[in-house]
Structure formats: structure tokens, C-alpha cells
């Protein structure tokens, strides 16, 4: 992954005037230093970002630029164990007593790593997928090691009684009969849900990072959570990202949905609902 870091360059008056006139942007590795934050310079910067094939940018707080930014989806994906623990702790349920459902399309190493990690954290993992044969092979392999998952794709029944749903890469759940009072953790950029859904859909998380990473001190005027997410996204595999996340000892401060911060009372309301039984007996 190619990440660009945008900073306002520290220049004396004459350097600033010269670089501004000729729209000169200094580039060191993937750091882009601009002489001034104005429309012409930003336009030139966008051209350079595209030439350099930059996937995502992180900019200093006072620089506004319309380019791909980290939106929390890498973070939410790598922090799934912590998010599940956080949600279940609110409603006083042991993760080892709770079933979860995972909606997954891609039979990728990363998705398999995520599934195998969550198998160790909860009572049962149920996969919902269109690629039954591939994931059934995973089911057989895990079964040999006494680690159990189920695999299905019954659009009418698979998610009807699901109380906690993790969406790894589905774009649309409208075809499924989804429990309208479920807790959904959405790792995908887009997700269409039925209009009658009344549960909780977690789109992002707000975290506190205990460990001071070097990249924080090198980029003091940038958003720490974006910098942290970039470090996770740059890793070669899921295990490496999890290693950094665990060593950083993150603390979840807030859960965020499409309409903003999710009030913790919403979880209690779901737990007490007659339609919802968060622990499946």
C-alpha cells in the first residue's frame, strides 16, 4: 500500500514566494511538502499524488485535500476481537457463551486469518457465504483441530436469528432475512440494509492509543488515529497488523454508526428486547 503524507513546508519568505510562484512541491520518500495551502498548489499536489500512485493520504490538520483518506475500515477489521469484547461487556455477556455470524465472500488469507482468530474468542462462528465449497474445506480443516464453524447461505434462515453479525465484504444484505434487532459490525465500505432494520450497525470506532509510536512524534500535526490505521494497513499480513494493534494496547472510546456516536443505552435496549436473545442456548 502506498501512503502519502502531506505537510506544509517550513520556508523562509523568499523560498516560500519562489516555490509558490512556480508551484514547486518538495517530495522526500512519500512525504509531500507544499509551500502554501491554496487552490493552485493543491491542484498540482493532486497531479503528483496520482503520478506517484498514492493509494491514501494523511495530511496535517489544517490542509484540506479531496483524496482517498482512511475511513476507519482497516481499523475496525483488525480490531474485531476488541470490538466484540467491548460490545458484549456492555451487556455483561461472556464472549465464550456467544455465537456470531460472519458474512464473507472472498476466500482470502486475510479473511481466513480473521475467521480463525474469532473462532478462539467466541462459542461458535457461523459463516454466511456464496462460496460454500471453499469455506466448507476450511470447516473440515478446523474440525480436525477441534475448532468448529458452520457454513451456509440460506437467504431465508442464515441470518434470521443472528444476534451479532460481522460483515467482512458483503455489499448488500437486502436479499437476506436479517434479524432486525441484530448488532452488525460492518468492515466493508458500503453495505445496504433493509429499511426495517432497527438494530445497531457499527461503522467505525474511536480509540485511545496507549503506546507512543514513532510516527506520532514525526507527524505531530496529523490525526493519530489515521496514522495508526495507516500503520496497520501497511503491514504484509493480518498477523502483523494484529501484533501492532495488541502491542499498542488500544482502548475503544466510542462506537460510531451512520448517524454518529452510538449511545451505549442502545445495547441495553437490545438486550432487554423480547425479540432479542443475545446468548443462544
Indicate the pTM of the whole model: 0.91
**Tally of CA atoms within 13 A in the half-sphere of 248 that contains its CB:** 28
Helices 80-90, 265-272: axis angle to 10 degrees equals: 70
Please, which residues bridge with residue 203 across strands?
Answer: none
Domain boundaries, the chain: 3-59, 74-205+255-272
Task: Match 486475510 to its residue by C-alpha cell.
Answer: 110
Cα 161 from Cα 68, distance rounded (Å): 37
Residues 214-225 pLDDT 10s: 899 999 999 999
Cα 72 from Cα 68, distance rounded (Å): 12
Cα 279 from Cα 281, distance rounded (Å): 6
Among 127, 111, 133, 130, CA closest to 172: 130
Q: Three-class SS of residue 181?
A: coil
Please, which residues bridge with residue 205 across strands?
Answer: 255
What's the pLDDT at 279? Answer: 58
What's the pLDDT at 274? Answer: 47
Given the candidates 3.40.50, 3.30.70, 3.40.47, 2.60.40, the CATH classification of the domain at 74-205+255-272 is 3.40.50
Residues 188-246 pLDDT 10s: 998 999 888 999 999 999 999 988 788 999 999 999 999 999 999 999 999 999 999 99
Stretches where the chain sits below pLDDT 50 are: 274, 281
Please, which residues bridge with residue 252 across strands?
Answer: 207
What's the pLDDT at 211? Answer: 85
Cα 8 from Cα 77, distance rounded (Å): 32
Sequence-distant (≥ 6) Cβ neighbours of residue 143 within 8 angstroms: none
Amino acid at each position: 500500500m502506498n501512503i502519502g503524507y502531506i505537510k506544509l513546508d517550513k520556508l523562509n519568505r523568499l523560498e516560500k514566494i519562489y516555490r509558490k510562484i512556480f508551484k514547486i512541491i518538495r517530495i522526500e520518500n512519500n512525504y509531500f511538502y507544499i509551500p502554501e495551502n491554496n487552490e493552485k498548489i493543491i491542484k498540482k499536489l493532486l497531479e503528483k499524488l496520482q503520478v506517484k500512485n498514492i493509494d491514501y493520504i494523511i495530511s496535517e490538520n489544517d490542509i484540506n485535500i479531496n483524496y482517498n483518506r482512511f475511513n476507519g475500515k482497516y481499523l475496525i477489521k483488525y480490531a474485531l476481537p476488541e470490538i466484540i469484547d467491548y460490545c458484549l461487556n456492555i451487556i455483561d455477556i461472556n464472549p465464550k457463551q456467544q455465537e456470531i455470524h460472519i458474512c464473507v465472500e472472498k476466500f482470502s488469507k486475510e479473511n481466513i486469518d480473521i475467521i480463525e482468530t474469532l473462532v478462539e474468542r467466541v462459542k461458535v462462528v457461523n459463516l454466511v457465504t456464496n462460496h460454500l465449497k471453499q469455506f466448507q474445506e476450511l470447516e473440515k480443516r478446523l474440525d480436525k483441530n477441534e475448532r468448529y464453524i458452520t457454513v451456509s447461505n440460506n437467504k431465508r434462515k442464515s441470518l434470521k436469528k443472528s444476534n451479532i453479525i460481522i460483515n467482512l465484504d458483503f455489499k448488500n444484505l437486502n436479499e437476506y432475512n436479517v434479524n432486525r434487532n441484530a448488532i452488525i459490525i460492518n468492515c466493508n465500505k458500503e453495505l445496504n440494509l433493509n429499511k426495517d432494520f432497527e438494530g445497531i450497525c457499527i461503522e467505525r470506532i474511536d480509540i485511545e492509543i496507549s503506546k507512543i509510536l514513532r510516527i506520532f512524534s514525526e507527524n505531530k500535526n496529523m490525526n493519530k488515529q489515521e496514522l495508526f490505521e495507516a500503520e496497520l494497513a501497511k503491514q504484509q499480513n493480518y498477523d502483523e497488523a494484529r501484533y501492532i494493534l495488541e502491542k499498542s494496547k488500544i482502548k475503544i472510546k466510542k462506537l460510531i454508526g451512520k448517524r454518529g456516536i452510538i449511545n451505549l443505552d442502545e445495547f441495553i435496549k437490545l438486550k432487554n428486547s423480547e425479540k432479542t436473545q443475545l446468548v443462544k442456548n
